[in-house]
Structure 1
Amino acid sequence: MDDSGNLKPPASREMVCYNCQGVADPADCYQAARCSKGEVCETHEDITDNGSMSFDMGCLSRQACEAIGHHLPFGRRHVVKRYELCRGCCDKRDNCNSEFCSMKKGITNMTAIDHLVVTPSHLTALLGSRVKYICKFDPQTNETMSMTWTFTDLFGNVTHIYTHDVQPPALKFYVKSVETSDSGTYTCEARLGSWSWSASGNLTVVAASLDIIQGPKTQTVQEGRRVTFSCVVSGNPTPSTTWQFVNGTTTSNIINGVTTTPTGSQMVIDAVSRGDAGIYKCLSSNILGTKESLAVLTVEDIPTIVLAPQDQQVHLQDVVGLKCEATGTPTATVHWIFSSLEQLRSLSE
């Protein structure tokens, strides 16, 4: 600063620059040094012996920066073999050499990027089916990150699937035809310098099955009696069981009187009425779909004579007509029995 508190021109002031050797990312450098007059802040990227990237940061003369073609105050990247390296100088402000070449550039609050999500988080898949996992940040960020998928099987063995640098950080992973050995945990890890995030999704592979071993049985009962329908099912995953009542063209779900049993489900009607007559369905469902089995309930009511024959006095040789009508379910059958007056008198004595 000059006597008035203003920043001195770059050529006449001594800059303060971050000064670190071999850091993984310029944003990870916390040491600073005062440069000589005529020097500016500089950062350049190198390839280590093991093939990883590191950064050297410090002071460099303005003439040297200009001689190697750096454009102040920005850094730029150049290609060495298949790697893209960054070198740059700046004189805009003290410690400005952490503002370029960094994978973390533009992030003012790293802890704000804390929600890496893998979807689905839990998945049950059929043997031989295709599954897809997606790994991304929510909300999304536009930083370039190194992202890795790994798989941990049910015995704890960890397998590296693949690593990829992506921008924005979002990575998909497919299993085209799952086997039982694919059951386990798929973990996605995102790295940005010294920061890292991870999220996982669990996969369970099942050889699915679904069957109704014994469906409800057709019954005929008298009105007022108790009726029980049973349904024995099996399947993997364990199927759910529901009941429906079909009366003509109307189908309704049954809730009352339904209980779950160790082998399926049971449905009870304590006192049947004529309105309970119809078709009863047992439906068993899991990820394979739905199977059904049906039974017919017939409700009988005791025959009732609604029109009885009447006593008549006729002359000999007259034609006599007697009527008798009865109702009932099933349809009542009317039988006629003749008894003489002598037989009736003997029965009444």
Structure 2
Amino acid sequence: MLSVVVIIIFIIQQSYPTYQLETIQAVLSSTVDLHCSVVNQNLESINPAKIVWIRDDQADIVSLDSVITVRDSRLSILTMDNNDRQERTLRIINIEEQDHGLYRCIQGDITLNEILLDVLIPPRIISHTPEHMHMTVREGRDAEFSCIATGHPTPTIIWHVNGLSRPGIVATIEGKNESVLILRNISRYDSGRVDCSASNTLSTVNRQFLLYVKYKPMVTVPFHLSYFRLYDSATITCQVCSIPSSTVFDIFRPKKAVPIKKGVKDQFEGFINETCRQLTKTIYLSHPSLFGPYVCRARNSLGVNHAEFIIKELNQSTKHMKSITERRPSSTLSTIINLSTPSIFTTTNDTQLKIVTTELIAQKNQAYGSSISVLLLIILCLL
């Protein structure tokens, strides 16, 4: 009797081999087949029951043999019967997120197969702050952004400011997969894009915020010191960058509240970019009073700033030594020395000094020669 029981158990084990839990991953909108088969050996005598598919997590009977028992047009049973084996494959098309779960194929009280269907879901950002996708903050204060993402596997959220990883405080709120970026003490150079990226094994999605940092005007001038001649036309340029745009932007004399008007021949103002402007003025320097210090001043709702520059007069008068046209014949070497005083060195260059010295020596030699000639004539007369 014992031997008969052992034989029956052996037959059952051969007809229904042991199974292992199988995991199948499927992407949203794809199609998946869940296979289940049974060997026909002694099928009728051992277990004539029909093959059934069950959804464990919902306690639903999905199919009975080849018939789908739930209202879902996406489900179907593929059957194959032959002398050796019966197969009942559960096909699910256009996979949805709710299809995730444990499926069991049974016959009577025997489990033939057990499959965990793991539905892979691309990342999706379902909420973000600010909602209108842009933020304006005053320079020196903090800016806070947040993103909540869903997907399977759980997405990883990373942040970039103007394409770079900027040091900041990133907090992750468990249970919601929410990431919060806090930028401390922001500056005008943080203005631009703030990107929130959520990634998993399937793909990456992004949300792009625009950050505007308000700051008082930043004024620059290309040249802080320029030289011009009297009656020249001086072209001067200054630039300002600010958010919000400057309400006052002009060139003034120091401590004056009204922009310069005297001598202005022409002026032009234009935008360099969204936040920067340039002012160019041409001043006709018709009077010495137009030389001196100037300031380029700009003001917006956050404050005032300025840059200073100076216009100086260019003097090119050259002092020339007067030519010596007449000298007394009795001029001596002391005359040359007296003429070659340090005052000459301070008013002429080396070349001019050499010319003057040569002329004086020549005149001295001429006077000396004339004296010798007169002396010889007197001697001859006496003889």
- TM-score by shorter chain over 0.5: no
TM-score (norm 2): 0.38
- Point out the structure with the larger strand share: 1
Which of these two proteins has the greater Rg computed from alpha carbons? 2
TM-score (norm 1): 0.41
